[in-house]
Structure 1
Amino acid sequence: MSLRIAVVGTGIFATDTHLPALQKLDNIYQVVGCYNRTKAKAETFAKKAGITKVYDSLDELLADKDSIDVIDALLPVQYNPLIVESALSNGIPIAIEKPIAANLEDAHKVVELSRKYPDTPVFILEQWAYYKSIELIKKELPRIGKLVSFQYSSTGAFNFNNKYLSTGWRQHPKHIGGYLSDGGVHQLALLTGILGHIKSVSAKTTQIRELSGTVDTLYSLMETESGLIGTFTYGSCFGNTEKKGIFQILGDNGSIYLDFSPTLPSPKITINTGGFSAESERKTEEIQVENENFDPVREFQVFGEGLLKKDYSGYITTPEVAFHHLAIVDAALKSNGQSIDVEKA
């Protein structure tokens, strides 16, 4: 049996990204209804989805819980605690978009709600956490010896043609750091998925574009809970420059270099081994990451299969994990060059 899913918030991302992903997984999901504050948008979405059920209010949707198995919520993140509480108190599992909340106070609320209703999952939609690159690199880490440090950098030119640029949640962000939390949690899902939690952050931020609404560029020094030190750079508001994404992990017997720049046909992992001693053999190998999980299909698959099997052990993006990603951004914003410990959920 497939899961009957209702979509709450039927804007650009719901229509252009979530709906196609759910339709690809028609063996798992059946879109049965939708709601949007502006009903005309919900009706447009419903027509594209091939459904007739358009709810007049969120309360009406929740009252129809016998017809709904799960909710896919795409609201501005400041509303995440409210929609999560509404769903869980009605016994309906819910997927919400990253970041987990607008700030750490609200993020704590989402975590507490998930703990209050442990049998009704809250799934954070963060597709970078399900990248194939993560497991591929983790498998190779022992080959480069004792891990010492890392360099992570994702930079690019400002996209004046971004279809989300005119939206209120981009121009007047309620979520801390604006672009830095909206896009930064993607980057941090990749980084922490491989190296584990971040213990502390020393950072400087700046704002390049007025259109960003707030600070939009971050340079930082980080320490992981396992003792690695490294740099994390994130900014997508520069002038004319090639969009680059690189992640290098350095050990005492080699290094691993991930190039996930969008100009490549697919991400590439370079493994350099040797160097522990003068006599150790030095080798270089490359792995091309084919069909990386750039769209939400894989995360929706994990979410749905877990619900159908009632086995949530495959869920990577729990509220606690998503809290950690936002808490790193929070620490960076508070740092102003000082070392700040990352708050725990």
Structure 2
Amino acid sequence: MEQVNWGIIGCGDVTEVKSGPAFAKIEKSQLVAVMRRDAEKAADYAQRHHVQKWYVDAEALINDPDINAIYVATPPDSHADYAIRAMRAGKPVYVEKPMALTYAECEAMNRVSQETGVPLFVAFYRRALPYFLKIKELVDQQVIGDIRYVHIQLNKDPQANELGDQAQPGWRVSPDVSGGGHFHDLASHQFDFLEFILGPIKAASGIARNQAGLYQADDIVVANFEFESGVLGTGNWCFTVNKEQRLDETQLIGSKGKITFAFFEKFHIKLETETVVEDFTIPFPEHVQQPLIQRIVDELCGGDKSPSTGETGARTSRILDQITAS
């Protein structure tokens, strides 16, 4: 391609700042049209973001001759359907994470990509963010020696809409729509990045339970996992603690030291060895998906390959399914 002309299916919250504006800020890229089933909201988004066209029908957007690439930003229950339709129409797809409801749906999406030869990408944008690339650099340089194990700990308090007599939990904790709960939404980023820096996870298991009864999905998960390299991992995720117990911390323990970092709430990396204690502060960019979208546009225009693909995205869904199988 000489120019990537994007259409967005599902212009909700994630597209307001994280992704949507980035499509117009990248060379050889522009946002041509958006689609949302609510006509008033679709028109409002298009006006506010200076987008030429808007639709209420996904098929109409997919078949728009002015569009040659599709960003699927709907909840996961429709990812496979829209992505497959777009690829069969010959248009590369960038799909939100988690990639689909299940690993089986991810496999179906990848089969269509292989059959049609149309590229498929997934929005695991930490693979391109400077903060996380610094962690990868430290690991690759073996600053803390050989990695022995990983530990993830994520504690969050319930969201306001999940509490009280009038609670109306959102789609992220409705398994029929999201594939799981907050664990699926957030841990997908964590496992994708860990595979990016440490290689494939060959086995994973866990226990997922609903303790607080605030919604249908699990609200606490514990897990064990093993990388093909021999590195071992553990993790625990709880989404019903009080605010004082909030914690977002991951540790990479090596033979010569450790790296401590956060996935979501902080911008600090702490490196500790026998001879060095060093802190790095690397804020996220305004549009956190822009570096990855840039890599995707580069690939579609004949440049280097994107680090996040349908194949890597599917691996993450496989891990989530294994951990929550109980």
With normalisation by structure 1, the TM-score equals: 0.83
- For 2:199, the equivalent position in structure 1 comes to 196
Write out per-residue CA displacement over residues 264-305 of structure 1, whole angstroms, 9 at most, x where no aligned residue: 4x2223131xxxxxxxxx312314142335821211111122
In structure 2, distance between residues paired with 1:117 and 1:303? 18
In structure 2, distance between residues paired with 1:70 and 1:15? 19
User: Does structure 2 retain, via aligned residues, the 8 Å contact 1:134–1:194?
Assistant: no
User: Does structure 2 retain, via aligned residues, the 8 Å contact 1:21–1:297?
Assistant: yes
- Give unmatched runs, 5+ long, in structure 2: none
- For 2:284, the equivalent position in structure 1 comes to 292
State the identity %: 21
- For 2:297, the equivalent position in structure 1 comes to 304
Instruction: Note closer, same or farther for the CA distance 1:263–1:291 as it changes in structure 2 (3 Å cut).
Output: closer
In structure 2, distance between residues paired with 1:58 and 1:316? 27
In structure 1, distance between residues paired with 2:208 and 2:94? 31
Match of 2:127 among 126, 129, 138: 129
Instruction: Note closer, same or farther for the CA distance 1:12–1:148 as it changes in structure 2 (3 Å cut).
Output: closer
In structure 1, distance between residues paired with 2:105 and 2:264? 33
- For 2:317, the equivalent position in structure 1 comes to 326
Shift of residue 242, structure 1, vs aligned partner? 4.4
Shift of residue 2, structure 1, vs aligned partner? 4.4
- For 2:109, the equivalent position in structure 1 comes to 110
In structure 2, distance between residues paired with 1:207 and 1:68? 43
In structure 1, distance between residues paired with 2:113 and 2:132? 26
Question: Would you say 1:178 and 2:181 are equivalent positions?
Answer: yes
Shift of residue 53, structure 1, vs aligned partner? 1.7
- For 2:76, the equivalent position in structure 1 comes to 77
With normalisation by structure 2, the TM-score equals: 0.87
- For 1:275, the equivalent position in structure 2 comes to none
- Give unmatched runs, 5+ long, in structure 1: 273-281, 337-345
User: Does structure 1 retain, via aligned residues, the 8 Å contact 2:172–2:185?
Assistant: no
Greater mean alpha carbon deviation, residues 201-210 or residues 121-130: 201-210
User: Does structure 2 retain, via aligned residues, the 8 Å contact 1:123–1:317?
Assistant: yes
Secondary structure class of the residue paired with 1:283: coil
In structure 2, distance between residues paired with 1:263 and 1:322? 23
In structure 2, distance between residues paired with 1:154 and 1:36? 33
Shift of residue 216, structure 1, vs aligned partner? 2.2
Shift of residue 122, structure 1, vs aligned partner? 1.0
Write out per-residue CA displacement over residues 154-190 of structure 1, whole angstroms, 9 at most, x where no aligned residue: 222223269xx95752242323322221111011122
Write out per-residue CA displacement over residues 119-173 of structure 1, whole angstroms, 9 at most, x where no aligned residue: x2111012223233443333333233333222222222223269xx957522423
User: Does structure 2 retain, via aligned residues, the 8 Å contact 1:31–1:49?
Assistant: no
- For 1:145, the equivalent position in structure 2 comes to 145
Secondary structure class of the residue paired with 2:206: strand
Structure 1 residues 163-312: aligned runs within 5 Å: 166=168, 168-174=170-176, 175-252=178-255, 254-260=256-262, 264=266, 266-272=267-273, 282-292=274-284, 295-308=288-301, 310-312=302-304
User: Does structure 2 retain, via aligned residues, the 8 Å contact 1:148–1:229?
Assistant: yes
Counterpart amino acid of residue 291 in structure 1: P
In structure 1, distance between residues paired with 2:69 and 2:291? 17
In structure 1, distance between residues paired with 2:201 and 2:67? 38
Q: In the comparison of the two structures, how many residue pairs are matched?
A: 317
Secondary structure class of the residue paired with 1:302: helix
Counterpart amino acid of residue 311 in structure 1: G
Counterpart amino acid of residue 257 in structure 1: I
User: Does structure 1 retain, via aligned residues, the 8 Å contact 2:153–2:235?
Assistant: yes
Cα RMSD for the two superposed structures: 2.4
User: Does structure 2 retain, via aligned residues, the 8 Å contact 1:149–1:250?
Assistant: yes
Secondary structure class of the residue paired with 1:238: coil
Write out per-residue CA displacement over residues 187-219 of structure 1, whole angstroms, 9 at most, x where no aligned residue: 112222222221222312222444443102211
Instruction: Note closer, same or farther for the CA distance 1:221–1:49 as it changes in structure 2 (3 Å cut).
Output: same
Shift of residue 93, structure 1, vs aligned partner? 1.1
Instruction: Note closer, same or farther for the CA distance 1:322–1:290 as it changes in structure 2 (3 Å cut).
Output: same
Instruction: Note closer, same or farther for the CA distance 1:167–1:299 as it changes in structure 2 (3 Å cut).
Output: farther
Bigger Cα Rg: 1
